[in-house]
Amino acid sequence: MEKRPVRLGVLTAGLCLLLSGCFFRGVHELYAIPQPPKDYEALQARLSEVVAQGGEYAAPLTGEMIQSVQLQDLDGDGNQEAIAFFRLPSEEKPLKIYIFRPVGEEYETLAVIEGAGTAINSVDYVQMDEDPFKEVVVSWQMTAQVHSLAAYSVSAEQVEELIRTDYDSYQIVDLDQDNQQELLVFRTPIGDVPQAEYYDFDGVLDMAGVAPLSTGAYTGPDGAIKSSYLQELQSGYLADRIPAAFATSSYGGNGTITDIFAIRDGKLCNVTLDPETGESGETVRYYTQVSQQDINGDGIVELPQPVPLLDYRISADTVSFWLIHWRQFDIQGQAQQVFTTYHNDRDGWYFILPEAWENNVTLSRSDLPGGGERSVTFSYWTGEEGVDPLPFLTIYKLAGTNRISRAKAGERFLLYPLNALDRPEEASTIYAAEFRGGWDCGLTQEQVRERFAIIRTDWYAG
């Protein structure tokens, strides 16, 4: 989508909200003509000077910080600097990041970071050393496919470029647990294969380690290196509370593989990589509707291990349902299972299975015409041919004008939202359940509710 310059009048209103704060006023002040704070007027004057020179607002395209003017305390003095993003098309380096610092009731230019390229892709403000000034990490978009990553140290009237490198993707993370941020950069050196490079600040920001990815993460079925391999990159914690980066790539024809990077024995390591195979074989999966996440809320990232569940009504070669074993990995790359779920992505819910169910459960679907009632039934089955499964629990997704009456039908009980019957106007979709009596599953209604959860969609900008 094309980025248009933000008009100064719109910026005025936005900055007034940011800079003025909330204050209690006397009655006579409520009827007075509103006046912008003096510090805003001073900042507006600096911005107008850049616009007068032909500057166009050029906000970062991606990431969490995508405003044309941003406020950050860069020098740690408790006062926020204003960072403004511009493009001056007539200059050799047209992309400009102006940093204005407050001085009394005025703003003065602290520094200007300049860059070539077509756009500012992203920006981050991070503490990479013990200096009170935060470093500014900028992704410059050179072309639609090529980006350059740079980190800058900013002080009074001085900008020092600490690092510049091409990259495929990157993550800002404190891997060595020194309370300072480092850069984990994924890139493809000329004539070589993709790798993870670790940049740490030790007097200078320098590459402190390199670790390989799984071979299948960056090569296609034909053996050629893929032009794009990473599907997802996130930071989190291993089972032993050690910080790590989780890099998920496409694998084979229709699978995914996750490489986990952490500091082990003082070195950057791909902790799940098997040196004999060159693959993180324990993390390969071919059912890809779910990805790694902290599914149980314990602060540790769990990886899914899909297990096919045979349907007693169809051929053993066809898989209609999957169970998901959720596993945590430690610094040695060893996995430990947390629990097992059935994920119903189609209807937007998942259910945590008791251990006693896992080896003797089968599933079936039933969707009524019109889409107002969709259901999945859990049945107990020994796996013997000629022996019918025993249905014991059905979970329903109910929608439409008759969803309330359907939620009350038979022996059904509510799962979500629990106030659907009292406030039907707030519940366009209702989830309910019903025991079927074919087998004693060992759960009460409340325990079923505790194991049921709505699938939440997390917005990721990378």
pLDDT of 4 reads 34
Please report, as a single letter, which amino acid is at residue 113.
I
Q: Is the pLDDT of residue 349 over 50?
A: yes
pLDDT of 25 reads 38
Average pLDDT over the chain, rounded to an integer: 87
- Model confidence pLDDT, tens digit, residues 355-370: 989 889 999 999 998 8
Predicted TM-score (pTM) of the model is 0.84
For β-strands 135-141 and 267-270, DSSP reports them as: unpaired
Q: At what angle do helices 38-52 and 8-20 cross, to 10 degrees?
A: 150
> What average pLDDT score do residues 369-397 get?
90
Are the beta carbons of 235 and 300 closer than 8 angstroms?
Answer: no
Omega before residue 417 within 30° of 0, cis = yes
Buried b (16+ CB within 10 A) or exposed e, 24-43: eeeeeeeeeeeeeeebbebb
> What average pLDDT score do residues 112-122 get?
95
Q: Is the pLDDT of residue 77 over 90?
A: no
Give dist(CA 332, CA 238) in Å, integer. Answer: 10
Q: What is the DSSP letter of 425?
A: G
- For 29, the 3-state DSSP assignment is helix
pLDDT of 31 reads 41
CA angle 68, 74, 76 (to 5 degrees): 150
Number of Cβ atoms within 10 Å of the Cβ of 80: 16
pLDDT of 105 reads 83
Q: Point out the least confidently predicted range of 147-156, 165-174, 292-301.
A: 147-156
- For 150, the 3-state DSSP assignment is strand
pLDDT of 37 reads 55
Please report, as a single letter, which amino acid is at residue 404.
I
Q: Which of 253, 411, 415, 406 lies closest to 344 in space, CA to CA?
A: 415
Q: Point out the least confidently predicted range of 33-37, 73-77, 299-303.
A: 33-37
Give dist(CA 276, CA 281) in Å, integer. Answer: 11
Strand partners, 248: 232, 258
Q: Is the pLDDT of residue 91 over 70?
A: yes
User: H/E element holding 89?
Assistant: none
Q: Is the pLDDT of residue 198 over 80?
A: yes
Q: Which of 183, 176, 141 lies closest to 162 in space, CA to CA?
A: 183
Are the beta carbons of 6 and 68 closer than 8 angstroms?
Answer: yes
Q: What is the 3-state secondary structure (H, E, C) of 384-421?
A: CCCCCCEEEEEEEEEECCCHHHHHHCCCCEEEECCCCC
Give dist(CA 136, CA 127) in Å, integer. Answer: 9
Q: Is the pLDDT of residue 6 over 90?
A: no
Are the beta carbons of 267 and 209 closer than 8 angstroms?
Answer: yes
Buried b (16+ CB within 10 A) or exposed e, 407-440: beeeebbbbbeeebeeeeeebeebbbbbbbebbe
pLDDT of 317 reads 55
pLDDT of 420 reads 82
Are the beta carbons of 96 and 51 closer than 8 angstroms?
Answer: no
